[in-house]
Structure 1
């Protein structure tokens, strides 16, 4: 049943995939990649990418996809952008903004005994793994990179509460990755954005950001880019 549900999600995600680089937007200089934290509220015009555009006055090519993971092996995963690395397209990007890894923890190991998964995503010193491999590719292609952490939900009961220790460790390792290239890689933590017990930052599932939550994420990401 789980495989069937994921296959259906993959097909549906084809419809929700972000913009493609076309003649109409080939001059855009900001690419956004990631999972549902980035893609949430896009249909209403209030996704993280939409809000970054408003704050910076610059076009954002948003290729984020609901359900995206680093380790995703269904045949449709690449074309649908469900494999996070497949969202990338080379271009004259000044910035690539992205997140990812949460769905690998949630679906890959159920937020239980995930130490090996965290290591596959990024090593303890922040230098090896799927995340550093992708980030360094982006840097080789000339873009500066902002990697976003995930929102936390203090004081709220959610299905992903068990993920928190692994999310905290992921943040620590992403901080170390950013320290290896302080002029080109920036980590933007989101763990302190949500006030304790504030459900207004989330949709009804208390996992995905509401429009208010997306705006708060975008504000922090835009501030990073404006200060560099």
Structure 2
């Protein structure tokens, strides 16, 4: 499919980087290209969080990263999101993931089994629930960030809208069971027909989109710090 080929090319175009000194940083970011995008221009989601809160963020997100990833070498390089974790005195861990597992793993068609493996219908089990529990055991609060939508636009994101809604609902149920887990939905962020929140591929965030996502994350951290 054309959208799948475009997605593969887009994933190669964004990469995360470690920012912040790490010496006094208390916020860690982990995830895929939605967080990493615009990082080379110092305008990623993590940079927006830094600007809003006035403190450093250590960003370990990697474009193309998956929740479910079987290759050990690539997984160790951050392609498996849980492998992105580094030791630190983290008060907050900003996390996302799951989109590549659906878009590249099952093409957002008959994805129920894959979604179940990531997060159960009740939000209590699956790879994501297990990972979040491990992160919470460190004492950090976790902010799980959903994915952008593109209402009124024909895009790969809209192709995956039903799967995305199902996925968001499960993450929200997981967060509701733990006051230290906060789910940020982005389903209402983009106005109908507005392209300005997306990059050229209509998948990843534009600079404006990254800034808007970062502001939502920063507000959540500020409200519960």
Please say whether Structure 1 and Structure 2 have the same fold, judged by a TM-score greater than 0.5: yes
Deviation at 1:86, TM superposition (A): 0.6
Segments ≥4 residues shifted beyond 6 Å: none
Match of 1:154 among 151, 155, 159: 151
Deviation at 1:17, TM superposition (A): 4.3
Please report the TM-score for the alignment, with normalisation by the length of structure 1: 0.90
* 1:51 aligned counterpart, secondary structure: helix
**1:190-221 per-position Cα deviation (integer Å, ceiling 9, x unaligned):** 00000011101111100100000001101111
Match of 2:211 among 215, 220, 223: 215
* 1:201 aligned counterpart, secondary structure: coil
* Structure 2 unaligned spans of 5+: none
For 1:36, the equivalent position in structure 2 comes to 33
For 1:19, the equivalent position in structure 2 comes to 18
On the 8 A contact 1:125/1:177 being kept in 2, the answer is: yes
Deviation at 1:72, TM superposition (A): 1.8
Structure-2 change in CA distance of 1:20 and 1:206 (3 Å): closer
CA distance in 1, matches of 2:16, 2:209: 20
* Structure 1 unaligned spans of 5+: none
Instruction: Describe how 1:112-123 pairs up with structure 2 within 5 A.
Output: 112-123=109-120
Please report the TM-score for the alignment, with normalisation by the length of structure 2: 0.91
On the 8 A contact 1:90/1:141 being kept in 2, the answer is: no
For 1:87, the equivalent position in structure 2 comes to 84
* 2:94 aligned counterpart, secondary structure: strand
For 1:72, the equivalent position in structure 2 comes to 69
Instruction: Describe how 1:107-146 pairs up with structure 2 within 5 A.
Output: 107-146=104-143
